[in-house]
Structure 1
Amino acid sequence: MSLYVRSTGEGRSVLWIHGYTMDASVWEPLWGMLPGWRHVGVDLPGHGRSGPLRPGTSLPALAAELAELARAESATLVVAESIGSMIALQLAIDHAGDVRGLIVGSPTVAGAPAEPGTAERYRALAGLARMGAEGEQLADLWMSSPPDIFLGTEDHPELRARLRAIVAGHSWRELRDGAMHGLSRHVHTVGDLRGIRARTLVVVGERDMPTFRASAGLLRASVPRCRTVTVPGAGHLCMIERPAAVAPVIAEHLRLSALEAEEEAGRADSRAV
Structure 2
Amino acid sequence: MALSYDVAGSGTPVVLLHSTACDRRMWDPQWAALTERHRVLRPDFRGYGQTPRGTGPYTDAEDVLALMDSLAIDSAALVGASFGGRIAQVLAADHPERVSRLALLCAGTPGGQPGPDMDDYLQAEARLTAAEDVPGIAELFARTWLGPAADDSAREAVRAMRLNSARMATEPGTWGTSALVDLREITAPTLVVSGRHDLPTYQRIAREVADRVPGARLLELDWAGHLPSLERPAEITALLLEFLAVP
Answer whether contact 1:153 1:160 (CA < 8 A) is retained. Answer: no
| Pair 1:29–1:168, CA change in 2 (3 A) | same
Answer whether contact 1:76 1:100 (CA < 8 A) is retained. Answer: yes
In structure 2, how many angstroms separate the alpha carbons of the residues matched to 1:89 and 1:156? 30
2:157 maps to which residue? 162
Is 1:243 the counterpart of 2:243? The answer is no
In structure 2, how many angstroms separate the alpha carbons of the residues matched to 1:250 and 1:9? 16
| Pair 1:175–1:108, CA change in 2 (3 A) | farther
1:140 maps to which residue? 139
Give a deviation string over 1:126-152, Cα, whole Å, max 9, x none. Answer: 3234xxx4x4243124434xxx323x1
In structure 2, how many angstroms separate the alpha carbons of the residues matched to 1:215 and 1:17? 18
In structure 2, how many angstroms separate the alpha carbons of the residues matched to 1:118 and 1:95? 34
- Kindly report which structure 2 residues correspond to 1:108-257, keeping only aligned pairs within 5 A, or say none: 108-114=108-114, 115-129=118-132, 133=133, 135-144=134-143, 148-150=144-146, 152=147, 155-174=150-169, 179-180=174-175, 182-183=176-177, 186-188=179-181, 192-256=182-246
Question: Number of matched residues?
Answer: 241
2:44 maps to which residue? 43
In structure 2, how many angstroms separate the alpha carbons of the residues matched to 1:7 and 1:205? 28
Measure how far apart 1:204 and its partner are. 1.4
Structure 1 unmatched ranges of 5 or more: 260-273
SS of alignment partner, residue 33 of structure 1: helix
In structure 1, how many angstroms separate the alpha carbons of the residues matched to 2:149 and 2:236? 19
Answer whether contact 2:104 2:193 (CA < 8 A) is retained. Answer: yes
Measure how far apart 1:49 and its partner are. 0.7
User: So what's the TM-score if we normalise by structure 1?
Assistant: 0.79
User: Which entry has the higher C-alpha Rg, 1 or 2?
Assistant: 1
Amino acid paired to 2:69: R
2:89 maps to which residue? 89
Answer whether contact 2:195 2:226 (CA < 8 A) is retained. Answer: yes
RMSD (CA atoms): 2.4
Answer whether contact 1:46 1:52 (CA < 8 A) is retained. Answer: yes
Structure 2 unmatched ranges of 5 or more: none
| Pair 1:156–1:55, CA change in 2 (3 A) | farther
User: So what's the TM-score if we normalise by structure 2?
Assistant: 0.86
